[in-house]
Amino acid sequence: MKDSEKLIQKFLSDKTHITIEGCGKLLVAYGYELRKGSGSHRTYHKKGAQPITVVAPKGTKYVKSVYISLIIKYLKLEG
């Protein structure tokens, strides 16, 4: 299984234990690129698609599940 497939399964099965690095890897695998990475916000862009912003967690290493749900929605990971 490819790394991106494993990551997709993790996004779909466990939305509470995804890191900011995991979000970045998945978005890059889907053709997004990080254009703004200052402060706690990471904004990924792809031509013809809505930008996706992920806020780096404070006090924990895991991203809030609301951002994971948005990534799942925008990338259409759920059938």
- Strand 33-36 relative to strand 41-45, pairing: antiparallel
Please count the structural domains in the chain: 1
pLDDT digits over 34-50, tens only?
Answer: 987 678 889 999 999 99
Q: What is the extent of the structural domain holding 54?
A: 3-75
CATH number for 66: 3.30.920
* Cα dihedral sign, 25-27-29-32: negative
d(CA 64, CA 5): 21
Going by pLDDT thresholds of 50, 70 and 90, the confidence category of residue 1 is very low
For residue 14, the model assigns a pLDDT of 87
pTM confidence score: 0.88
d(CA 65, CA 43): 17
* Cα dihedral sign, 19-20-22-26: positive
